[in-house]
Amino acid sequence: MFYYFTIFMAVYALLTLTLALLGTVSKLAAFASKLLIAYMIMCFCAIYGVAASIVLTPFGKNVAITQWTVGRLFRWTLGPALGVQFEVENEDGMWKDRPVVFVGNHQSELDLLILGRIFPQYCSVSAKSSLKHTPFLGWFMQASGAIFIDRANRTSALSAFDNAIKQMKSNGQSAWIFPEGTRSYTTETIMLPFKKGAFHLAVQAQVPIVPVVIQNYSHVLNLKDKTFRPGTIRIKVLEKVETQGLEGTKEDVDRLVEKVRNDMVKELEAMGLGDKKSQ
Residue 48 domain flag:
yes
Between CA 243 and CA 11 the distance in angstroms is: 53
**Of 189, 160, 190, which Cα lies nearest the Cα of 177?**
160
| pLDDT on residue 54 | 82
Sign of CA dihedral 131, 40, 85, 190: negative
Residue 279 lies in a domain: no
Per-residue pLDDT tens for 81-121?
A: 999 999 999 999 888 889 999 999 999 989 989 999 999 99
Could you write out the three-class secondary structure of the chain?
A: CHHHHHHHHHHHHHHHHHHHHHCCCCHHHHHHHHHHHHHHHHHHHHHHHHHHHHHHHHHCCHHHHHHHHHHHHHHHHHHHHHCEEEEEECHHHHCCCCCCEEEECCCCCCHHHHHHHHCCCCEEEEEEHHHHHCCCHHHHHHHCCCEEECCCCHHHHHHHHHHHHHHHHHHCCEEEECCCCCCCCCCCCCCCCCCCHHHHHHHHHCCCEEEEEECCCCCCEECCCCEECCEEEEEEECCCECCCCCCCCHHHHHHHHHHHHHHHHHHHHHHCCCCCCCC
pLDDT for the residue numbered 154: 66
- pLDDT < 50 regions, the chain: 277-279
Q: Quick check: is 91 in a domain? A: yes
Distance CA 231, CA 31 (A): 14
- Is 276 a domain residue? no
pLDDT digits (tens, 9 = 90+) for 133-169: 777 777 777 777 777 776 666 666 667 778 888 888 8
Q: State the pLDDT at residue 63.
A: 65
Give me the domain span that covers residue 164. 2-271
Output the domain CATH number for residue 32. 3.40.1130
Q: Does any domain span residue 97?
A: yes
Contacts of residue 48, defined as CB under 8 A and 6 or more positions apart, other chains included, come to 70, 73
The answer to whether 122 touches 145, Cβ cutoff 8 Å, is no
- Counting the structural domains of the chain, the total is 1
pLDDT at residue 277, rounded to an integer: 45
* Residue 239 forms part of a structural domain: yes
* Type of residue at 161: F
Q: Are strands 209-214 and 231-237 parallel, antiparallel or unpaired?
A: antiparallel
Reported pTM: 0.87
Query: Please, what is the angle between helix 62-82 and helix 154-171, to 10°?
Result: 100
Q: 81 burial class (0-12, 13-18, 19+ CB within 10 angstroms)?
A: middle
